[in-house]
């Protein structure tokens, strides 16, 4: 009998998640997954931070805790502490109550809620996003009803920032357009503007009355310092202008599957912020009603306790340092091997991902011949590497570069 859904066609595999599916189906003992955007230990295992285990234990042992619904905006403590973490404890925006913060479903949910709010309440419905950017960005904004345009960002020739192209494209954007900015550790390229370049970007954005929407997925995870990685956001907030910030605790607290994030909207006055919050709640209510309690409680517990907070910063720096050391090891091994080309971009880029510069054919060759899995654009997750697997990757890159054009 025909189904009423007979006309439904099979959707293509998500290009990033599909890498893991292919990896899981490969029986080779030499296989290596560099596609996944999640931290791995030197042994290649997922990591739950000690401080997260302690916070969870504390929550579980508290008999007064219940499983009641939390407010539409989420846990008040979590929201307050999240705004403080990204904007800085002394931020005038916080002191003047000009920030509306809503707990959301990790970074993706924060972006989607922010996009839905903008579609309904902002006079411009075009958003400029970097080329390239995270594969989910255009989908999130398109589905919320915004129209997506691109600005130049990455220069394949230098494997660095196309700063001239970026300024030119944002300079030509219509007044009031929304601009998506990666707060740090740009995904997928690992290429970030310098602080001088950020200042020029800020001046251009403010002079054109563009609206910045920051995606902050890696605070503390890129450089190892929470303050350094929040620099771009804080310079925009310091000028008194308005902006949106999507925060995720997936990477920096390792809370991937807990889906913990926050959307902060920095406004001109406390009165505006309170109205904005009331309208953001109207976006959330028919979407998922209210957010989950567990992950946000873990975050609030850690951020509230100075001991736990300090322990977290140490563990966080440990993760960032391991990734930085993997960059160094990979770069040095390619140099020692004499692999053709300049590989210095590996140590210049920052964060979880490196844009290797390998093309689709070279990536396919490495998967087929060496069982190494990555996205077809040549992005590799440095967090998936270890001292033990660097030599295998170097063999594969060398073979791909010397035998596949």
d(CA 260, CA 277): 19
Catalytic residue among 169, 215, 229, 312: 215
The answer to whether residue 251 is catalytic is yes
Where in the sequence is the domain holding 34, given as residue range(s)? 16-47+321-400
Q: Is residue 132 reached through a cis peptide bond, with omega within 30 degrees of 0 on the bond before it?
A: yes
Average pLDDT for 23-47: 92
Question: Average pLDDT for residues 242-265, to the nearest whole number?
Answer: 98
Q: Which of 304, 336, 371 is the last residue of a domain?
A: 304
User: 10 Å Cβ neighbour count for 226?
Assistant: 19
Which residue has better confidence, 405 or 91?
A: 91
Q: Express as a percent the part of the chain with pLDDT over 90.
A: 96
User: What CATH number has the domain bearing residue 211?
Assistant: 3.40.640.10
From the candidates 134, 198, 312, 343, give the one annotated as an active-site residue: 134
Are 38 and 184 in a shared domain? no
| Per-residue pLDDT reduced to its tens digit, 278-300 | 999 999 999 999 999 999 999 99
Residue 347 sits in a domain whose CATH number is: 3.90.1150.10
105 and 230 share a domain?
A: yes
Q: Does residue 54 sit within a domain?
A: no
pLDDT > 80? residue 220: yes
User: H helices of 26-162, where?
Assistant: 50-60, 76-87, 92-95, 106-121, 136-143
Q: 11-15, 141-145, 235-239, 245-249: which has the minimum mean pLDDT?
A: 11-15
Residue 404's pLDDT is what? 86
Please tell me the total count of domains within the chain: 2
pLDDT of residue 9: 96
Q: Checking DSSP bridges between strand 211-216 and strand 243-248, what pairing results, if any?
A: parallel
The answer to whether residue 198 is catalytic is no
3-state secondary structure of 81: helix
pLDDT number for residue 262: 98
Q: What angle do CA 74, 79, 85 make, to 5 degrees?
A: 150
Residues 42 and 73 in one domain: no
264 plus 211 within the same structural domain: yes
**What is the band of 15 on the pLDDT scale with cuts at 50, 70, 90?**
confident
Is the confidence at residue 396, as pLDDT, over 80?
yes
Same-domain status, 174 and 275: yes
Q: How, if at all, do strands 260-266 and 160-161 pair?
A: unpaired
Is pLDDT of 37 > 90?
no
Instruction: Report the distance separating Cα 104 and Cα 59, nearest Å.
Output: 20
Full-model pTM: 0.95
Q: Please name the residue that has the structure tokens 């407010």.
A: 71
CA dist., res. 208 & res. 214, Å (int): 17
Q: Is 14 a catalytic residue?
A: no
Look at residue 18 and tell me whether its pLDDT is greater than 90. no
**Is residue 405 over pLDDT 90?**
no
**pLDDT above 90: residue 319:** yes
Distance in angstroms (rounded) separating the CA atoms of residues 377 and 362 = 10
User: Which of 169, 192, 229, 251 is an active site residue?
Assistant: 251
| Residues 6+ away with beta carbon under 8 Å from 113 | 102, 104, 263, 280, 283, 284, 287
Task: Using the predicted structure, report yes or no on whether residue 1 has a pLDDT greater than 80.
Answer: no
Do residue 343 and residue 290 come from a single domain?
no
Same domain? For 231 and 365 the reply is: no
> Which structure tokens are listed for 361?
């054919």
């Amino acid at each position: 009998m025909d189904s009423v859904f007979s006309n439904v066609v099979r959707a293509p595999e998500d290009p990033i998640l599909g890498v893991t599916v292919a990896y899981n189906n490969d029986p080779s003992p030499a296989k290596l997954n560099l596609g996944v955007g999640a931290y791995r230990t030197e042994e290649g295992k997922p990591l739950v931070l000690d401080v997260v285990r302690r916070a969870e234990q504390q929550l579980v042992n508290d008999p007064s805790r219940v499983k009641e619904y939390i407010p539409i905006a989420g846990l008040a403590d979590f929201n307050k502490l999240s705004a403080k973490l990204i904007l800085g404890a002394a931020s005038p925006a916080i002191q003047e109550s000009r920030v509306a913060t809503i707990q959301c479903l990790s970074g993706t949910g924060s972006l989607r809620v922010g996009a839905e709010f903008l579609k309904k309440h902002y006079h411009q419905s075009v958003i400029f996003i970097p080329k390239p950017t995270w594969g989910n960005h255009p989908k999130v904004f398109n589905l919320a009803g915004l129209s997506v345009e691109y600005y130049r960002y990455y220069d394949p020739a230098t494997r660095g920032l196309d700063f001239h192209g970026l300024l030119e494209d944002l300079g030509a954007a219509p007044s009031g357009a929304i601009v998506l900015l990666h707060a740090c550790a740009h995904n997928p390229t690992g290429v970030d503007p310098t602080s001088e370049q950020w200042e020029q970007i800020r001046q251009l954005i403010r002079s054109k009355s563009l609206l910045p929407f920051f995606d902050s997925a890696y605070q503390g995870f890129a450089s190892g310092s929470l303050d350094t990685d929040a620099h771009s956001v804080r310079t925009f907030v310091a000028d008194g202008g308005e902006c949106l910030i999507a925060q995720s605790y997936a990477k920096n607290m390792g809370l991937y599957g807990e889906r913990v994030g926050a959307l902060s909207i920095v406004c001109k006055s406390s009165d505006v912020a309170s109205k904005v919050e009331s309208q953001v709640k109207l976006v959330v209510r028919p979407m998922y009603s209210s957010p989950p309690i567990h992950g946000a409680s873990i975050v609030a517990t850690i951020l509230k306790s100075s001991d736990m907070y300090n322990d977290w910063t140490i563990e966080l720096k440990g993760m960032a340092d391991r990734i930085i050391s993997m960059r160094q090891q990979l770069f040095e091994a390619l140099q020692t091997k004499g692999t053709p080309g300049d590989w210095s971009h590996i140590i210049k880029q920052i964060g979880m991902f490196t844009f290797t510069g390998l093309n689709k054919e070279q990536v396919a060759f490495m998967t087929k011949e060496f069982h190494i899995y990555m996205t077809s654009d040549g992005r590799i997750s440095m967090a998936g590497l270890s001292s033990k697997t660097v030599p295998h990757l170097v063999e594969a890159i060398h073979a791909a570069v010397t035998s596949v054009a």
